[in-house]
Amino acid sequence: MAWNAKIFAGFLLEGNEDAAWEAAMNAIHSYNNRTQLFEELITKAMQHIGELWETDQISVADEHLATSTCEYILARFQHELKHTQTIKQLREKKAMFMCLENEQHDIGLKMVSQVFEEYGWKTRLLGANLPLEDALKAAEKWQPSIIGLSFSIWYHAELLSTYIHALEKLSHKPIVMVGGRLLANYDFTAYCSENTKLFPTLTELHSWLLNHSSQGV
């Protein structure tokens, strides 16, 4: 891991919002775009924090403090995106994001939502632990072109399949995208349809958006 990601993780664990923001602003000049910053700094820092928690080097309280501090940084990025950049929203380009039921971590979704917004998409972030019934109602009402699912617990694979197939059957035929830390190491295509898009990294999503934000999905 890059040394600055570990330093950034330290600021998150301290709950030091100002230092974390300054580190992010200093780091952004080293990357080509916001996506790379999210992947190389924030994602790696949170993965490091997760490893510390899994090996009992930090407490649950420490992990929660780091998460809330990271959420502050992402909210500040969101503010900067909306108030300092002129973004032309794409007509009828809508994307909705959610975690499966009993999936509690939605930081990745928040980064994905911001990346979509940077490309002019209208987004709705429905957050963690969303039951399928509520997901279907929300999607039917708003009719997004894209529905993004966050999946990070391996024994939820069957549940993932249930969500995918139910959402893909909606009358407006949305494309279902799946992301999460497990996708980089395991093959979940058996739980998906041939139309489902799997994105193990933000970089791969970024490449897809380059090709699909100025033309039909």
Q: Could you read off the pLDDT of 25-38 as tens digits, one per residue?
A: 988 888 878 899 99
pLDDT of amino acid 3 = 55
- In this prediction, residue 215 has a pLDDT band, given cuts at 50, 70 and 90, of very low
User: What digits encode the pLDDT tens for the residues 169-192?
Assistant: 999 999 999 999 899 999 999 999
Q: If pLDDT is split at 50, 70 and 90, which confidence band does 107 have?
A: very high
User: Looking at residue 174, what is its pLDDT?
Assistant: 98
- CATH class of the domain comprising 94-212: alpha beta
Three-state SS letters, the chain: CCHHHHHHHHHHHHCCHHHHHHHHHHHHCCCCCHHHHHHHHHHHHHHHHHHHHHCCCCCHHHHHHHHHHHHHHHHHHHHHHHHHCCCCCCCCCEEEEEECCCCCCCHHHHHHHHHHHHCCCEEEECCCCCCHHHHHHHHHHHCCCEEEEECCCHHHHHHHHHHHHHHHCCCCCCEEEEECHHHHCCCCHHHCCCCCEEECCHHHHHHHHHHHCCCCC
Segment 121-134, tens digit of pLDDT: 999 999 999 999 99
Q: Is the pLDDT of residue 1 over 70?
A: no
Per-residue tokens: 84 = 């300092």
- Residues 55-104 have pLDDT tens digits of 999 999 999 999 999 999 999 998 887 776 655 665 679 999 999 999 99
pTM score: 0.89
Distance CA 108, CA 127 (A): 10
pLDDT, residue 162, reads 98
Q: Does domain 3-84 have CATH number 1.10.1240.10?
A: yes
* Domain extent listing, the chain: 3-84, 94-212
What pLDDT score does 217 carry? 47
